[in-house]
């Protein structure tokens, strides 16, 4: 257990899967953790309880990153909790397996509102607080992309893949923009990870069903992604920015 600091990390979508694992790992590194969650208050509360049981500090804040008002409220709650030092833009959604010629405008707009606009707005609020240009002490922003950005996810969810392609571009551009202001920006591109997101897309066994396509012949775990994220958050990654790290078993 690293010594607790007043540095706060916000983890959006922190109640389950990669977000949950990241929140717990970041607490282990000494961060105070703000667990953002869209709907499952019980799951978010369990993450907070687990962190506090290990003498960490955490709070849960309801936030649909598809809503600008929710995002602003999330960051205000973080302000009252300590000095913001990091943001993990983890919240994201997938839709049911579909071809593009079957997709509704509403589905695509919701996908982009959560996965792209939400991440950009969260980063905006983080930069306002962390940038030396705004009187901040610097910090780190980690965006969650996906190997789907490279593969395109045909016949599955091209719209999700496109949203993650946008995250890749955003990571590079924002990283350059704030590199001289004490903020590092990086992204993680997970491959097939054993989390609940596939169930929300209607295919709970998708990761295991496709594991034969991974060079390592297995799916990854949420903890394996979290370990990469907390390394990027740490001073060990002090010269890493505008970088995208594949954590995909070689996929």
- Which class for 224: exposed (0-12), middle (13-18), buried (19 or more C-beta within 10 A)? middle
In 3D space, the residue among 141, 189, 142, 145 whose CA is nearest the CA of residue 167 turns out to be 145
Mark whether 239 is an active-site residue. no
Contacts of 164 (CB under 8 A, 6+ apart): 115, 145, 146, 148, 149, 189
CA distance 15 to 29: 18
Contacts of 113 (CB under 8 A, 6+ apart): 66
Contacts of 203 (CB under 8 A, 6+ apart): 97, 209
Active-site pick, 37, 157, 160, 239: 160
Among all residues, which ones are annotated catalytic?
A: 160
């Amino acid at each position: 257990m690293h010594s607790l600091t007043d540095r706060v990390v916000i983890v959006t979508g922190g109640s389950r899967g990669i977000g949950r694992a990241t929140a717990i790992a970041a607490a282990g590194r000494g961060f105070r953790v703000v667990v953002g969650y869209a709907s499952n208050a019980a799951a978010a509360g369990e993450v907070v309880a687990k962190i506090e049981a290990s003498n960490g500090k955490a709070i849960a804040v309801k936030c649909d990153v598809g809503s600008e008002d929710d995002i602003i409220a999330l960051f205000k709650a973080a302000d009252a909790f300590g000095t913001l030092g990091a943001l993990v833009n983890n919240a994201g959604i997938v839709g049911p397996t579909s071809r593009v010629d079957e997709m509704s405008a509403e589905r695509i707009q919701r996908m982009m509102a959560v996965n792209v606009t939400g991440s950009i707005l969260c980063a905006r609020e983080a930069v306002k607080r962390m940038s030396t240009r705004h009187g901040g002490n610097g910090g780190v922003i980690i965006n969650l992309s996906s190997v789907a950005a490279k593969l395109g996810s045909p016949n599955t969810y091209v719209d999700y893949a496109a949203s993650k392609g946008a995250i890749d571009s955003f990571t590079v551009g924002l990283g350059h923009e704030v590199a001289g202001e004490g903020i590092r920006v990086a992204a993680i591109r997970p491959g097939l990870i054993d989390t609940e997101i596939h169930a929300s897309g209607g295919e709970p066994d998708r990761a295991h069903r496709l594991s034969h396509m991974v060079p390592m012949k297995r799916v990854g775990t949420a903890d394996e992604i979290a370990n990469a994220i907390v390394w990027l958050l740490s001073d060990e990654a002090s010269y890493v920015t505008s970088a995208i790290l594949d954590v995909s078993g070689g996929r």
